[in-house]
Amino acid sequence: MSASFLDDATLADLLVQLETEGLAAAESRELDARLARSPGASRDALAPAAAALTLAARLPQEAMPAALRARIAERGREAVRATAAGKVVQFGAPPATAAVRGSLLGWYAAAASLLLAVTAWWPRLAEPPAQVAGIPLPVPTLAEQRAALIASRQGVIQQSWTPTEDAAAGGLAGDVVWDPATQTGYMRFRGLAANDAALEQYQLWIFDGTRDDRYPVDGGVFDMPAGTDEVVVPIHARLPVRKAALFAVTVEPPGGVVVSARQRIVALAQVATG
């Protein structure tokens, strides 16, 4: 790909002009020539989003609401997943009207649409870009990603932790969130004791109702930093989980283990059935 909307400022300008003012014959030919260098790009796909994004860049800089930032990022990830699966990604952008120009909400919606547009015609994209047309895209925190996952779809499992009598779990609270459809999830902890990573680490285990209980799925190791009120940890399941039945957190040697002796279990979350 010799040029793309991500790095061709002239292309972006022409798309904006197409959407807002129209193009002269020579400008229209220039636009078509530049689009031809980006396979899969089209006027219909990119012009509305480009116009909205450029107009938004002129607005006063204000902080994006956390929930909206997480939702934009989630839409981008969904587009990447759909593209990788060979599905058609549907998207739309608000028109470049006075309402969009005067509304930060319109800018955020346009930015989300632009991200979807870019991922729709760039199949080789592994992750949403850090910036588009020189404008940085927001990176949601783990807490925001967790909130977006809960709000994004039905069927997401959310279960509170039950602490054990282990000393590390003395003031434990929080929950685990798991989406069977995307095989992604997050753990939230308050009051779990900080660990010395040189001596021990926490490890998550996911008991799958379709697998032998002796061999739960490894959900990844993690540390608990000192002096934090609440920590959100992403789940990294090493194998597909077909039917999550129980989540358990153990204390293991640094780097974790393949099979836990379960000598120190600090938290459990039983998945409700029914």
Summarize pLDDT for 7-21 with one digit per residue, the tens.
566 776 777 677 666
- Report the alpha-carbon distance of residue 112 to residue 165 in Å, rounded: 46
Pairwise CA distance, residues 119 & 235, whole Å: 25
Phi-psi sector, 267: left (phi>0), alpha (psi -120 to 50), beta: beta
DSSP strand pairing (201-208 vs 217-222): antiparallel
Mean pLDDT rounded to a whole number for the chain = 74
Pair 144, 159: CB distance under 8 Å: no
Query: What is the model's pLDDT at position 208?
Result: 96
Using an 8 Å Cβ cutoff, are 244 and 176 in contact?
Answer: no
pLDDT digits (tens, 9 = 90+) for 241-261: 999 999 999 999 999 999 999
pLDDT(69) > 70: no
Structural domain boundaries in the chain: 9-140, 153-270
pLDDT (tens digit, 9 = 90+) per residue, 208-251? 999 999 999 999 999 999 988 899 999 999 999 999 999 999 99
Asked whether residue 200 carries a pLDDT value surpassing 90, the answer given is yes
pTM, whole model, 2 decimals?
0.55
CATH architecture of 153-270: Sandwich (2.60)
For residue 105, name the pLDDT band (cuts at 50, 70, 90).
Answer: very low
pLDDT at position 29, please? 86
For 42-63, write each residue's pLDDT tens digit: 666 665 556 555 555 544 445 5
Using alpha carbons only, give the angle 61, 67, 71 rounded to the nearest 5 degrees: 95
